[in-house]
Structure 1
């Protein structure tokens, strides 16, 4: 150091957080680095999974070395703030820096930006190289520093602009103080110098992404001025002091990990967890988990009602114990299926270890409507979406703006008692997956496979857990691109994954296993042709790679189902379908005739009582049929679909499960109705545990049709009318133009001769090719007097999706099937290709060694979860509105409770307001954005301030997008002129 240069005075001037961010006192940059390193130590001691610690130990050079290396990597993240580009941003701080002898030419940089995260990557890259680090280690580490605000830049974008003539990075004494900062920090953390920090192993890119997310987590915790108040005297700055602050913050925040040190459960533990002995298929799954020699993928295929979920949770427990995972993520296809799974996972975790149930988080956009979740979070500030308002307020918004709204305002809003559930910190934006145990929609995993800001934080929430995904067959070709991308990263990260399905097409199974193995072996692709196929059903496929040489190992097993096959009868009920572009009157007449056909059928079949389930492919068909059935069966009919407001839909779902669920057969006073008809849409297709005596369903692709048939005679010990003693399914939703349901010969000939016609809406949803193949299988099944379920399920699903193999397709249909198949395959390829701009990695980049440039041409969808959900589900984003009635100048809830003249919500009425939420079809989304706003009285309520109100008149009508809408307590939201 040059004579006369007072390095300490310079280090004592460099600020990391302004007074506004430090509770009225600035935080020295060195103090923030040490605070973050101390938080990293707390993460290591109380949060990180054993599997993560083993990876970091290996990277750092052996057992016991990972902790200090992890603390150093997390702490060094903000070294780029030691530049004029950052220090000039706060005028008061800039004056102190200049006074200490660190200057710059303001005119040269006033119009130029150099983000401090990028600057940190640039400066550290140079310093590590100078310290003698191998190039391979410099190149994987700098992106973690340059990307700690959510985006990984390319190496070419690191240097500051040449137009600044060195003033952004600093000249004169700046390089010296930058080196001094890094050296002082490195020594404080316990290293003899930068050379001693150098790792010995380049981690996988997935491990780098995980580590990057943990750096963000440590930074965000250490940036909270309530627990890390300003510290502006260099003599008070030390690692010992930072550790004291970090330990106190950790305790006060209530942060913790999951079940580190879990004992591997034995066969006897199944009964302790679930109260019953395991079935053969459940034993098979648990044994497959035990036979795996490394973290890998388990694919469980078993019939509906076989107990796949319980088997998966036990397998997760085994895999976690064997490979050091510290929690679970259970992903479900929908919000509705996530809620009952949340209850089940909480019960399971509590039986594993007392107190763990409180650490389970529910993660989806409408969790505030879940009573169990709200009971856990009552007493805390508010639910996540409102508690941590704004995008990234808790760690990112002030990266180059020390005066931005952020921590101080946040803590004012959240200074309330802690919740009884997971730590409040976990409930902020993008942090939910970091909670030890999480149940949510599969979207949470899909988000982690997108090229969006802070994707590393989402991935960090998955790595270190066991991931369980239920009903993976529900992912269409577009969603499957993100699912496969996520599996690649999880495979490379060594995350055990369990996939569940009752009806998984073989090609989809091969694709999912191949994606995981490609990641586990760090290859661009893994050839699916090498994978063995299951021969029986239920089956399990286990796949993993050996640690030594990344050679893939695949284990396949099967066993008999716990219950005997049932012969399910198949019958046909064709409809008179209107021509394309038919007028409204003709469409209504056709629908009325179709409804009457079902009414007549049910009158015959339920003459002695019984419970029937009718599944329609659209809301409009369900509403129309419900109205017709009410005229014939009165109060014995229930309606369930997605356009019923949240609260009444939850009540109806609960009632249906009470009347037809498993509990109805297990009490001294049975709750099962003597006669009941449930009319539902696809909501009844999955995770809807009801038992129907009789099924009527619109035609759908074969796997979905079998899912619906899975609701037939689902539970043992149910007393049924003699007429319905044998399970039967009636298939409708197809026909020929001009063929009426009253024609006695129509049923016998409906699927003979020329190819059938299908509902226009069904073709739009599913495609003609899959419907034709399903119709061919139904035709053959009806001729054979039905199907044997579950024995025939795998073969039927394989046939329904083995496009090109048309031996079972009637000769008269084959030309139409070939034409539809070619169109379908083209559309599928186009949909798969359309996902590419959003995927985390591009084709050809999956064997990359570092994270540099990972976010090149990234999507901005991640800044809005609604847009992000649309991005991973291939559709126009749908919009939710809160239904409010205005009559006589008074706003009221759907249930009639009055609000103020401006819509202010009195105490105790919030639940009723939120219970009026309903999701509109995507065609209304733009109109919602342009025409609807929250009521003025909602603007101060964090739960309602972003909720558009659809105000209905006294007759409960409104006009939106030039269409008439009406809310009916029985029918739900009705489109009075729904168009074609």
Structure 2
């Protein structure tokens, strides 16, 4: 057995591992990965289904497809059969290849030998010596399959020029013989039992199949490299005997469940299982059990607070119960909304899985206390010292962003989903997790043309592998809905008046109309009183400020949404000086540790379960616009496009409860500018026409009637035809904006077609790829001596604690500040601006140049804004 050339080669070597054997043979590690692949295939119907769909293979060919998959997975490390890789462990060479230990090599890789890339290049150069390709199509298929498995370290190779000669002829021949011998061995193990040979062409491997296979192989390699599972073993067993012994071990120990990758779902129990004991299915929830049980795209349009989340989770549960998926990825627009969804998904997981691995994925997820509690629960050990069986490896899943979608439920910001189609290392691992999941995307109306371009590519790839997606929105313009349906290969549907509605591609194949609610479940008519006030800068004047204070002092909870942080800060200062009730401020320009505290306080005082024992005022920005379950008695908001306005109105009289006498009727006051020049508001929202049209309708209506307004207002505002009264300047700006949007969509598409993976998946600034335009600056607030504001010295911390602490003390700031307020300040290696500040003795920190200030109540502010304050004091609680 040991006479075969590949036995001279190691795949894993580590002097620190337990046991006498400090290396693991190449043949054994290759089979370890194949064992995981075979076990996945056996235990996961979703993996089988997606691979069959991606490779377009019928049921009759399923065993042959499996044979090819296992064969190529066993080749994933073929680049390690190379002397330049073997010399990376010189302490091993005297044991297994003494001649190489004493041979001088020419390192033609420049010290950067990449066994994945070189494995692909060598295989393409040598495969005509292994067998005779049947055709050009067969050769192309081999190229795609090899690229997928050899790209398992993050980047799919596309260059087939191998390195120049690096050693004397005997070494080169030894390496080539080893590769040829392993190809034959893998064919004997996996192809021949299925009636295949090397001369048979593998199934065509198109881009979607290649990416799916790359993600699958990466995951198999990760687990196959775990020494706790696959202990280093001396070359004592034949490949066939080793393969079967490992298969028995992995199945006996149920390794995939141990790592949280597989879980048995509980039988679908219907919508009531997801509701509270005193609740009953309502609205779109009553239609879920009638939706087709086939993969597809589903768009749910229903009012804010109508139970769309539970409806989506219930349909996902049905698809999982039917074996059409095995997990859920729930994507939301912001970190705050993702954090808020975590608890709801944890509750859902108990109904659908009993106990499941739940992963929160965004840049600050490790600072979320609820999520850390879940990770710790997954790490607890029994009295016998063994990992508790139910939640075994939540910590393993949470330890890398590359694994964010590999548990049973992933809750994330939409950026994490969009990265699966961008040129980022290991993007195909994210894609693999998505493809075996039901993808749920909330607030799909909230994304610009660039992000929609990326989302459409995500949907196309989800369809290509037989996956499913559910999109949620209260306010979706027909033009956007049409593009989303087209991404799934469905013709745009003529606009209809039905609302709420469910658009399911399988159902639409039989009827061109969406599914409509029964009359008994149509949402109750809801009327909101609206008034438009045209004020300087669209900011409250003194009479309105006094009305706000009077309302709060009479017991009302008043919500105010400003479009910019500067406006919000200035208004908060005015109210804070004059009101005798608590005034809260919530925006994004706080240190993360302060924002987390404020977010929790906002939910506590304005949320569904708030005690409401006194009046209170919340001044906020768009951070409260979506998904947060807040409930105001009166809402004041600056002008924004109509769909976003309706989102804000969803926080007004959201729940049935007792209201102050003067606020029995839901009322919203909309603030706009005094002319048709929307200034900064236009910069924020892009299209001046959307603002003008929204204002035009508000000026002519004293009431908005829901749900009719979702069609009667949104569709005209977003319609392309000019209005008779529309100013020419507004129309001209719209045309320029439309051209910009078209270019942004093209830019997104171009980016998704790039093959070169330039970016590491763990870079903090990675999400900049998912946004069009300049990202905000990250500002680290420090004292003059480099310590943090609370006196901590990050240089005295271990690496993990330091990273976490710096993140907690970082504030986002507008990109424009880089040329003004923050010009000349030093950036650290992570791109953060280190802003040195001094304590002015009044609970306020000011930058040394006097440009900006920071307090825990106001956040980071321009000096002129902070100058409006009296010496700061803690706001009433």
| TM-score band, normalised by shorter chain | 0.7 to 0.9
SS in 2 for 1:195: coil
Which residues of 2 match residues 302-341 of structure 1 at below 5 A? 302-341=302-341
Deviations 1:302-357 (A, max 9, x none): 1111111011111111222235210100001111001121110110110223222x
Deviates more, 1:702-711 or 1:72-81: 72-81
2:24 is aligned to 27
Which residues of 2 match residues 702-713 of structure 1 at below 5 A? 702-713=642-653
Shift of 1:724: 2.0
Task: Say yes or no: does 1:576 pair with 2:576.
Answer: no
Structure 1 residues 431 and 834: alpha-carbon distance in aligned structure 2, compared to 1, 3 A threshold: same
Shift of 1:380: 7.9
1:75 is aligned to 74
Task: Say yes or no: does 1:730 pair with 2:669.
Answer: yes
Shift of 1:179: 1.8
Which residues of 2 match residues 956-967 of structure 1 at below 5 A? 956-959=844-847, 964-967=851-854
Which residues of 2 match residues 585-596 of structure 1 at below 5 A? 594-596=540-542
CA distance in 2, matches of 1:89, 1:281: 60
Deviations 1:238-282 (A, max 9, x none): 2234446656886499313344565344465455x7762111321
**1:131, 1:194 within 8 Å by CA — same for their partners in 2?**
no
1:922 is aligned to 815
CA distance in 1, matches of 2:800, 2:96: 52
**1:57, 1:63 within 8 Å by CA — same for their partners in 2?**
no
Task: Say yes or no: does 1:802 pair with 2:719.
Answer: yes
**1:228, 1:245 within 8 Å by CA — same for their partners in 2?**
no
1:15 is aligned to 10
Deviates more, 1:338-347 or 1:726-735: 726-735
State the Cα RMSD in Å.
Answer: 4.0
Unaligned runs of 5+ in 2: 381-385, 867-877
1:543 is aligned to 505
2:235 is aligned to 233
CA distance in 2, matches of 1:276, 1:978: 47
Shift of 1:65: 5.6
**2:781, 2:788 within 8 Å by CA — same for their partners in 1?**
no
CA distance in 1, matches of 2:257, 2:429: 19
**2:559, 2:632 within 8 Å by CA — same for their partners in 1?**
yes
CA distance in 2, matches of 1:557, 1:112: 61
Which residues of 2 match residues 562-641 of structure 1 at below 5 A? 562-577=522-537, 594-603=540-549, 605=551, 608-641=554-587
**2:12, 2:24 within 8 Å by CA — same for their partners in 1?**
yes
Shift of 1:188: 4.2
**1:465, 1:495 within 8 Å by CA — same for their partners in 2?**
yes
Of the three residues 745, 749, 766, the one matched with 1:832 is 745
Task: Say yes or no: does 1:367 pair with 2:371.
Answer: no
Which residues of 2 match residues 895-974 of structure 1 at below 5 A? 899=792, 916-923=809-816, 931=826, 950-955=835-840, 956-959=844-847, 964-974=851-861
**2:528, 2:705 within 8 Å by CA — same for their partners in 1?**
yes
**1:543, 1:554 within 8 Å by CA — same for their partners in 2?**
no
Deviates more, 1:472-481 or 1:216-225: 216-225
CA distance in 1, matches of 2:170, 2:342: 51
Of the three residues 677, 680, 684, the one matched with 1:760 is 680
SS in 2 for 1:433: coil
CA distance in 2, matches of 1:920, 1:82: 51
CA distance in 1, matches of 2:119, 2:818: 42
Of the three residues 451, 463, 477, the one matched with 1:479 is 451
SS in 2 for 1:626: helix
CA distance in 2, matches of 1:195, 1:166: 36
**1:466, 1:495 within 8 Å by CA — same for their partners in 2?**
yes
CA distance in 2, matches of 1:646, 1:110: 44
Shift of 1:115: 3.8
**2:268, 2:352 within 8 Å by CA — same for their partners in 1?**
no
Of the three residues 215, 218, 231, the one matched with 2:217 is 215
Task: Say yes or no: does 1:860 pair with 2:755.
Answer: no
Structure 1 residues 638 and 799: alpha-carbon distance in aligned structure 2, compared to 1, 3 A threshold: same
Of the three residues 783, 793, 802, the one matched with 2:710 is 793
**2:378, 2:393 within 8 Å by CA — same for their partners in 1?**
no
Deviates more, 1:469-478 or 1:601-610: 601-610
Deviates more, 1:486-495 or 1:768-777: 768-777
Shift of 1:202: 3.6
Shift of 1:651: 3.3
CA distance in 2, matches of 1:216, 1:194: 27
Unaligned runs of 5+ in 1: 1-5, 383-414, 518-525, 578-589, 665-670, 737-755, 842-854, 935-944
1:753 is aligned to none
SS in 1 for 2:304: coil
2:283 is aligned to 280
Deviations 1:834-892 (A, max 9, x none): 334422x2xxxxxxxxxxxxx53x25234454332011112333344554557xx8957
Structure 1 residues 422 and 775: alpha-carbon distance in aligned structure 2, compared to 1, 3 A threshold: farther
**2:535, 2:541 within 8 Å by CA — same for their partners in 1?**
no
Structure 1 residues 84 and 654: alpha-carbon distance in aligned structure 2, compared to 1, 3 A threshold: closer
SS in 1 for 2:531: strand
2:875 is aligned to none
Structure 1 residues 929 and 326: alpha-carbon distance in aligned structure 2, compared to 1, 3 A threshold: farther
Task: Say yes or no: does 1:117 pair with 2:121.
Answer: no
Task: Say yes or no: does 1:158 pair with 2:160.
Answer: yes
Shift of 1:711: 1.4
CA distance in 2, matches of 1:169, 1:512: 59
Task: Say yes or no: does 1:557 pair with 2:559.
Answer: no
Deviates more, 1:178-187 or 1:44-53: 44-53
TM, length-normalised to structure 1: 0.77
CA distance in 1, matches of 2:805, 2:768: 28
Shift of 1:729: 1.3
Structure 1 residues 899 and 862: alpha-carbon distance in aligned structure 2, compared to 1, 3 A threshold: closer
Deviations 1:272-300 (A, max 9, x none): x776211132112442x3x35x3100000
Deviates more, 1:704-713 or 1:634-643: 634-643
CA distance in 2, matches of 1:635, 1:168: 86
- Number of equivalent positions: 841
TM, length-normalised to structure 2: 0.85
Of the three residues 371, 394, 417, the one matched with 1:423 is 394
Structure 1 residues 772 and 421: alpha-carbon distance in aligned structure 2, compared to 1, 3 A threshold: farther
**2:271, 2:314 within 8 Å by CA — same for their partners in 1?**
no
CA distance in 2, matches of 1:435, 1:712: 36
Which residues of 2 match residues 101-140 of structure 1 at below 5 A? 106-107=105-106, 109=108, 115-125=114-124, 127=127, 130=131, 135-136=137-138, 137-140=141-144
Structure 1 residues 33 and 280: alpha-carbon distance in aligned structure 2, compared to 1, 3 A threshold: same
SS in 1 for 2:811: strand
Structure 1 residues 929 and 370: alpha-carbon distance in aligned structure 2, compared to 1, 3 A threshold: farther
**1:60, 1:199 within 8 Å by CA — same for their partners in 2?**
no
